[in-house]
Structure 1
Amino acid sequence: MNDVQSIIDRQLGIYSRFNYDNILKRLSVQSEESFYGLQTASSPANFDQDPPIFACRFSEAPGYEHILALANEDGRVAIQDTRTQKTASTLEGFQCHNNAVFDLAWMPQNMKFVTVSGDHTACLWDVAEAAPRRELVFSSHTRSVKTAAFRPTDPRVFATGARDGRVLVWDARCAAAALVLRPDLCLAGCHAVPPRASPRARRPRADPRALSITGLAFRDDLALVSCGECDGNIKVWDMRKNYGVYKREPLPRHSIPYCGSSARNGYTNLIIDDARVRLYASCMDDVIYCFNVSTFGSLPEQRYVGHENSTFYIKTGLSPDGAYLVSGSSDKNAYVWNVKYSQPVVRLSGHRAEVTCAAWCQRGDTKIVTCSDDARHKIWRVGPEAPAGELAGRAELTPRADGGPQWGRDRTPHSLKRARRAEPATPATPATPATPASPASPAARAAPAAKRAGPRRCLAELLGARDADAGAAKRQRLDAPAAAERAGRRRARAPSPAAPPAKRRRSQPERAADAWPPGGPAGPAGGGAALSPRSPAARSPEGEPCGAVKIIAFTTPTKDLPNFVLNGEAPHLRLMSPVRKKPETTDWLTLMVRERRGKASDATDKPSVAAPSSPKENMPVRRNSVTDKMTKSSTKSRTLLKYFSVARKEK
């Protein structure tokens, strides 16, 4: 960002925080501040003597932010005072564990820190006195402990994560009342993947590598954020819930799935800014994701690229104001990003092996510490613009645009953009003899138009130009006999050879016919779709776009189809048309019944369709009993007295 613009923004009240990108390019390492192992600077360099450093953290106690703690693979921890170059030359180391120390975390507001080791334990150390003192040992994990994090408002509570897939929450205040120290909360199988079936075993087995916990961070007193090695999920756990009473896999309060496109979806480190809003997760796909943990959105707000992350020992650090991010890399460099942009600001070069971890001092002058697999750690300070003497490391500007390209901008290829670019003027060439083609030919008319159009920058224009060139060549072959005939007529009407030939004015149909390409309405094909006036082929003989399009011929495949609206009833109008009365049809059995009941006359009065013939139509009816005989019709009126007998009572 421009320094003048920054000052103007601050005067107008729209500037939120300082921007010191120009200061970071002056970071450098003096040869006296490049330390090998956890020994003093006067020790000889021997790469077989000391193992690599796995963890480095600055203190969080008020007034002691310059104190640095480093831990290596042999379980040794050293305390270093980084206020000045003279005080930093002395390292005070002591043995903490009998195995590698993978991580350490400082207790807020105290000169104490917790170390986690490959010996399945975590230890609380007090370095406020003259000699370091071990206070407590926490041993409930069954495999190597990988990470630890303290609760921000309660410094006596912290959480540890191990390769056994469990997250344990400890309270150091319970050590005085308990004989055996046990965790207050246990989360088992937090980042376990679904079990895979074995071809020889009856029961499915789980992948033990998919259970490792690699990062922990407290969002607040009630929310713990964790990440795994292989599942690619970031989960938020509620500290008020007792997950130990459930036998199944615990369900998190929130879950942020992996949002990348790589198979390397494991996370190596988690850090949260002081506002407890932004979560930075370093992923194995060479991207650092920034999530908003106030809303727990699944999409990241920013992605930081430019480094390489090939191992689970690479960790990140955040500046005191939360404006810059520093991380190690597998390409022997460390990178610093402005959190507003996805590309790094500077590259810190000087190590000879993979840079594993980096830390930013939280108070005082800008100081950055980087550790590498070459068993060296370097202290970066802001130096002069033109440093004198030999340097053990310097900051290099990364190739990027001013202001930094942001993730998600328009990345359309430059060749597909519609903008035209002006080309430099070409030197004038000597005049060449005229070609035998006619001046009025389409090829001659298309040449000035192509020069005025300039260079074509998109695929559509290139395709249009190819069609226009093909159409011009075809029209040239078709118009050659007509052009020769017109030229002969002009020569015949000319009074003398010296007089210039009179220019005949072309009619409107001829000009309209030249404006259409082959295959159009006026072309040799005799039919086709009309061209838009903006098309490169829709040009007038003078080279200007046609204002109006005149259709000369029109053909359509539906021209000879019947018109049901005018010629008859349309099939789709049958539901709306009146229903015709169906002719009455009577079967042979009904006619026979009507004849025998004396109703044959009714059937003859009304026209009806003849009933279909039946094979039993002429056969006599057989009757097996007297009851089957049909009663004869009588004219006598039938009443209910038929069923009663009236008898007179004699007196």
Structure 2
Amino acid sequence: MAIQPKHVFASLPLMERGVAKVLGGDPKGNNFLYTNGKSVIIRNIDNPSVADIYTEHTHQVTVAKYSPSGFYIASGDVVGKIRIWDTTQKEHLLKYEYQPFAGRIRDIAWTEDSKRMAVVGEGREKFGSVFLWDSGSSVGELGGHSKSVNSVDLRPVRPYRLISGGDDSVVAFSEGPPFQFKFTLKDHINFVNCVRFSPDGSLFATAGAGGMIVLFDGKTGEKVRVLGEDKAHSGGVYAVCWNSDSSQLMSASGDKTVKLWDVSSGAALLTFNMGNDVGDMQLGCLWQKDHLISVSLSGNINYLDRNNPDKPLRIVKGHSKSVHCLTTHKSDGRTTIYSASHDGHINYWDSDTGDNDCLRGKGHTNQVSKMVVDENNQLISCGMDDTVRFTDLKTKEYSASAVVKMDSQPKCVSTAPGGLTLVVCIDLVVLLKDKKKVFTLDKLDYEPETAALHPGGTTAVVGGADGKVRMYSVQGGSLKDEGRTLEATGKVTAMAFSNDGAYLAVTDEKKVLRIFTVADNYAIKDDFYGHHAKVVSVAWSPDNEHLATSGIDMMVYIWTISDSNKLKKITDAHRMHHVTSLAWVDTNTLVTTSFDACIKQWSILY
């Protein structure tokens, strides 16, 4: 049996209100870069569903930039580590690693010959460094600042100049190499968020939290003009980007607009209105080839349309926060993947193309813990907002009426024919029929952790923290305790009946997968061992002969029911994170997700 990666549906950028997001552009024009958690995401700019992920940082990555040659990428993290790695091979081999200072790195710049780098951020005693990329040797000092530095850039032509802007509201101007501080520019009255040289080096632009964008001479640092008279935007400006011939500038602002500017006159040519919600604040931008791209606070990546500034050509959606549960649904010959994240966001993906969108309307306000699809094509989801929601998958829109409020936080949901839904809450087990509570088990002498309804709808099993699986018969609108328990080897973590109802799979914190045979009065068929830590998720394949488990050991195992010796594993499926949820597209395709907010598909050959 062989397992190969099939698709990666990448996460969105991880955004923070009031903090600029740097997008890195490929000098060859093919890709663009951003960061989320410990990952650097590389996406094809023409087809953003094509993505690659670099996962070698051990701490949160904050910024990544291509070298002008296009052969290397430099990425920096929150502890001040810079990793320089290869772009030409899929393995992305590490070339060099440095730590120019101790603290969050906020921006990186290269000289046009790809030999020197400038790095700035939140260092304790120093806020930046300039060094040779292949040795780490210093090529000057970055001075002029008394607080953290947010942005840096190097003049792309000789004579070289270095500019930097920081929380002290000044822009520092340096000459070199070796680079030496010359003077500060004090035109901004608030934080300086972004500084960028034009491609021809004749000008540089500085943008600040006060809404101003100021242009200066690229060689001398003399002030040339202010864009838009006094202010370019009514909110803070977080990013600016030049077009290839240095004649126009794009700016992204917290006032929820992106603007195009004519550099020679200082006038706005076009204003893109991105929306009215807080999530529509614009915190980053990139101008690459004919693509105008901005990033919203929500994490959405917007491809702007010059001909229709009020509606983007494309909005790339997905998750920016950790994903905790998955399910799949087949309709009209196509399989859709549903994924839900820590912030309550539910997204759906075409399993073949990666085309995706989010459910419309107001849904969960907190983490979604579990999702299933019932016989009526409804997505049933439970979350930490103490609700269970029923969403029609034809409309893909939340219903204000199809919501059941729980008396305590739900942890698990299962479904069976006849409109039955079983919900495990903290200290409660609730049976729903046709979206209404019909029976509640409370005052329990055990702590329920997870549950499953048999596909026949006649039996419910509830797994407890005491390592026992209690059996209930479903009689009309009630649950009757059968007075029988099945034994696991430890606290039950996940359970699932096979699709044909022949087997029950139970996993526990003692790393054991136990299979019970339903027709044999739930006799133990086999125990499967392999995980090195608690198992957290289990999913049956459509053929009922295979099932997948994931654990906090960061391993995924594919088991064969008829032969316990036939197993394969996916090591580091989501590097540095354990797999939080599993689902099957078909018998040969497994879907996984994790805290990296990415969705991955794996091809399995038995």
The structure that is helix-richer by fraction is 1
Q: What is the TM-score normalised by the length of structure 1? A: 0.44
Q: What is the TM-score normalised by the length of structure 2? A: 0.47
Bigger Rg, structure 1 or 2: 1
